[in-house]
């Protein structure tokens, strides 16, 4: 593109708003929160670990392992497709902003990615839910288990951050060494990225259109998944960052972004549940119990902790992994691979026997309005976010809990 | 005028949070006025590094996109 003095046209200014600078994280948070409410209005809220699991089951089915022949094909799984188009949405965003490149890290980082992904799979299958299902959607769903899962995530993050700091001190060679970058663009080079970005965007809409005849829900899952990836990439929305950065550099922007999305979700979800919107033929009670999982409180606590360790070691939670895959960060490819390969194995062979040991009253569905009513549950969630907000802002000023 | 670089930090290929962790650690070891150059490929660094400089009071002397998708930041310790 040649430098001219001419002011760019209206459409190219619009393009720049989206694809020139990164968006503030809180803007991304609000839009993601709104899309999450849309998903719930259409069918059920956002989730990511289920998508990974479907990917993994389809891989094992293809190679004929673990007797998973009855697995639903990927093309018919809402959450499997949501995750695929989340990756593609981020791919589109990275291309249109010329930020795509294959970034291959040193070996140690690849190993950490895989292990982090595997831990996330263990945490998600044991704890029933991930950073999305039992946190970003779980808290708005007014689930008591989600509060416990969230506490688990916090402690897991802190422990894993301690590990990262220790590793950097004692074994700096683990995260350094030969790295490679391919296909990167620059201001003058790499115009192909823009063209390819538009092509993939158009393909997404064609695929959604082809489903729109007899599977309208899927058509919208595809479009919303793509938008979620695109927005996450542009705003660098990252749940790990929200949990971790106050304890690392003291930065609070990432946390505030997550809170913005949660607030949006809490309003939307509460309204949908309270008024029984979109009941279809399932009944009010089933609608209310959507995304309230039988994990209160032991399963949620342990699962959240393991997931928190995993996401911090990997450097991306379930969604952070997906959108970084789309932008070409190969460490997160390793993490996605660990997640999808371990998830079905964990579900089949590890979680089942373990869960049977846990008594029923330590793994039940806790829907907060059953105990404190809708006003109480709604207020409690807002209050939790307010406390978290005060903590990260206070900590940002004082650096009390920050490593640096 | 070419700034004298006291230390170079290679974070190429690394994903968040490793570049910021390494930068924060390296900055701790510098004395006031010294200059560190950081090379990275994580697009996140483009917003993380300036924000971190703002917060810590270290001065971001320059920020440029180099060939091969590498970003270069030159930072002076407060």
Which string of DSSP letters, residue by residue, matches chain B?
-PPPPSEEEEETTPPTTHHHHHHHHHHHHSPTT-EEEEEE--TTHHHHHHHHHHHH--EEEEEEE-GGG-EEEEEE--
Residue A1 has pLDDT above 70, yes or no: no
Contact A181 B69 (CB under 8 A): yes
Contact B52 A187 (CB under 8 A): no
Residue A299 has pLDDT above 90, yes or no: yes
Q: What is the pLDDT of residue A69?
A: 82
Residue B29: φ, ψ to 5°: -85, -5
Q: What is the pLDDT of residue B2?
A: 67
- B12 shares contact with chain A (CB less than 8 Å): yes
- Per cent of chain A over pLDDT 70 is 99
Contact A403 B12 (CB under 8 A): no
What is the nearest CA distance from B64 to chain A, expressed in angstroms?
11
Dist CA B33 CA A347 (whole Å)? 55
Average pLDDT over residues A327-342: 96
In a domain, B1, yes or no: no
pLDDT-based confidence at residue A394 (cuts at 50, 70, 90)? very high
Q: Which residues contact B8 (CB under 8 A, 6 or more apart)?
A: B36, B37, B38, B39
- B63 shares contact with chain A (CB less than 8 Å): no
Dist CA A382 CA A154 (whole Å)? 18
Residue A2 has pLDDT above 70, yes or no: no
Is position B11 annotated as part of the catalytic site?
A: no
Q: Check B5, B10, B13, B16 and give the catalytic one.
A: B16
**Nearest-CA residue of chain A relative to B11?**
A176
**Nearest-CA residue of chain A relative to B13?**
A105
pLDDT-based confidence at residue A45 (cuts at 50, 70, 90)? very high
Contact B13 A184 (CB under 8 A): no
Range of weakest confidence among A108-122, A177-191, A306-320, A344-358 = A177-191
- B36 shares contact with chain A (CB less than 8 Å): no
Contact B18 A175 (CB under 8 A): yes
- For B37-57, write each residue's pLDDT tens digit: 999 999 999 889 999 998 889
- B29 shares contact with chain A (CB less than 8 Å): no
Contact A103 B20 (CB under 8 A): no
The residue whose two tokens read 């930090």 is: B9
Contact B44 A253 (CB under 8 A): no
Q: Which of A99, A105, A176 sits opposite B15 (nearest CB)?
A: A105
Residue A22 has pLDDT above 60, yes or no: yes
Contact B24 A244 (CB under 8 A): no
Domain count, chain B: 1
Q: What is the pLDDT of residue A4?
A: 53
Q: What is the pLDDT of residue A64?
A: 87
Q: Chain A residues contacting B, CB < 8 Å?
A: 22, 94, 99, 101, 103-106, 109, 164-165, 168, 175-176, 179-181, 184-187, 189, 236, 238, 240-241, 244-245, 248-251, 253, 315-316, 324, 327, 329, 331-332, 396, 403-404
Dist CA A390 CA A392 (whole Å)? 6
What is the nearest CA distance from B1 to chain A, expressed in angstroms?
24
Q: What is the pLDDT of residue A283?
A: 86
pLDDT-based confidence at residue A349 (cuts at 50, 70, 90)? very high
Report the interhelical angle of A216-235 vs A191-211 (nearest 10°). Answer: 150
Q: What is the pLDDT of residue B1?
A: 52
- Which tokens go with B23? 């930068």
pLDDT-based confidence at residue A281 (cuts at 50, 70, 90)? confident
- Chain B CB contacts of A332 under 8 Å are 15
Q: Which of B10, B24, B41 sits opposite A249 (nearest CB)?
A: B24
Contact (CB, 8 A) for A206 and A17: no
- B25 shares contact with chain A (CB less than 8 Å): yes
Q: Distance between alpha carbon A238 and the CA centroid of its chain, in Å?
A: 8
Contact A180 B13 (CB under 8 A): yes
Contact A187 B65 (CB under 8 A): yes
In a domain, B50, yes or no: yes
- For A366-391, write each residue's pLDDT tens digit: 999 999 999 999 999 999 999 999 99
- Which tokens go with B7? 């230390």
- For A171-211, write each residue's pLDDT tens digit: 888 888 888 889 988 878 888 999 999 999 999 999 999 99
Q: What is the pLDDT of residue A175?
A: 85
- For A25-37, write each residue's pLDDT tens digit: 999 999 999 999 9
ipTM score = 0.90
- Chain A CB contacts of B16 under 8 Å are 238, 241, 315-316
Range of weakest confidence among A47-56, A73-82, A172-181, A226-235 = A172-181
Q: What is the pLDDT of residue A3?
A: 52
- B73 shares contact with chain A (CB less than 8 Å): no
Residue B37 sits in which domain range? 7-76
Average pLDDT over residues B56-78: 90
- Which tokens go with A239? 């749940």
Q: What is the pLDDT of residue B55?
A: 87
Give the global pTM.
0.94
Give the CATH number of the domain where residue B52 resides. 3.30.110.40
Residue A322 has pLDDT above 60, yes or no: yes
Query: Which of the pair, A284 or A268, is modelled with greater confidence?
Result: A268
**Nearest-CA residue of chain B relative to A324?**
B15
For residue A276, the tally of other CB atoms under 10 A from its CB is 14
Dist CA B47 CA A21 (whole Å)? 9
Query: Which of the pair, A49 or A178, is modelled with greater confidence?
Result: A49
Q: What is the pLDDT of residue B5?
A: 87
Give me the residue spans of the domains in chain A.
Answer: 23-398
Contact B15 A324 (CB under 8 A): yes
Strand pairing report for B35-40 and B7-11: parallel
Q: Which of A180, A186, A332 sits opposite B65 (nearest CB)?
A: A186
């Amino acid at each position: 593109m040649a430098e001219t003095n001419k002011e760019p046209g209206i459409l190219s200014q619009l393009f720049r708003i989206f694809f020139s600078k990164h968006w503030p994280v809180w803007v991304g948070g609000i839009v993601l929160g709104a899309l999450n409410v849309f998903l719930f209005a259409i069918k059920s809220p956002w989730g990511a670990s289920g998508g990974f699991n479907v990917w993994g089951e389809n891989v094992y089915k293809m190679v004929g392992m673990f007797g998973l022949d009855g697995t639903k094909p990927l093309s018919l799984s809402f959450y499997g497709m949501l995750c695929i188009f989340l990756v593609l949405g981020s791919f589109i965003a990275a291309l249109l902003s010329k930020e795509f490149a294959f970034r291959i890290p040193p070996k140690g980082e690849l190993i950490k990615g895989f292990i982090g992904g595997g831990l996330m799979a263990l945490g998600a299958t044991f704890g029933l839910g991930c950073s999305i299902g039992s946190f970003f959607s779980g808290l708005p769903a007014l689930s008591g288990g989600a509060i416990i899962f969230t506490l688990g995530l916090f402690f897991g993050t802190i422990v894993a951050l301690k590990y990262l700091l220790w590793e950097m001190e004692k074994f700096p060679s683990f995260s350094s060494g030969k790295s490679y970058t391919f296909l990167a663009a620059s201001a003058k080079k790499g115009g192909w990225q823009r063209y390819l970005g538009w092509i993939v965007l158009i393909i997404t809409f064609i695929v959604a259109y082809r489903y729109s005849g007899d599977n309208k829900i899927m058509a919208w899952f595809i479009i919303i998944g793509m938008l979620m990836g695109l927005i996450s990439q542009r705003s660098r929305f990252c749940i790990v960052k929200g949990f971790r950065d106050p304890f690392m550099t003291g930065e609070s922007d990432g946390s505030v972004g997550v809170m913005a999305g949660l607030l949006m979700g809490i309003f939307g979800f509460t309204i949908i549940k309270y008024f029984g919107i979109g009941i279809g033929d399932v009944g009010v009670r089933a609608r209310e119990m959507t995304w309230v999982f039988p994990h209160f409180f032991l399963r949620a606590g342990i699962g959240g902790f393991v997931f928190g360790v995993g996401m911090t070691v990997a450097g991306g939670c379930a969604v952070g992994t997906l959108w970084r895959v789309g932008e070409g960060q190969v460490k997160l490819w390793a993490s996605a691979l660990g997640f999808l390969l371990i998830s079905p194995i964990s579900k089949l062979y590890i979680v089942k026997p373990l869960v049977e040991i846990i008594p029923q009253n330590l793994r039940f569905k806790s829907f907060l309005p059953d105990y404190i009513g809708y006003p109480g549950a709604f207020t409690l969630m807002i209050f939790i976010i307010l406390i978290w907000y005060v903590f990260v802002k206070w900590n940002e000023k004082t650096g009390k809990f920050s490593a640096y | 005028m070419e700034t004298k670089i006291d230390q170079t930090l290679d974070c190429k290929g690394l994903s968040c949070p490793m570049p910021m962790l390494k930068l924060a650690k390296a900055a701790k070891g510098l004395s006031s006025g010294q200059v560190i150059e950081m090379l990275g490929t994580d697009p996140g660094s483009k917003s993380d590094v300036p924000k971190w400089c703002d917060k810590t009071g270290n001065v971001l002397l320059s920020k440029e996109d180099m060939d091969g998708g590498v970003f270069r930041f030159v930072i002076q310790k407060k």
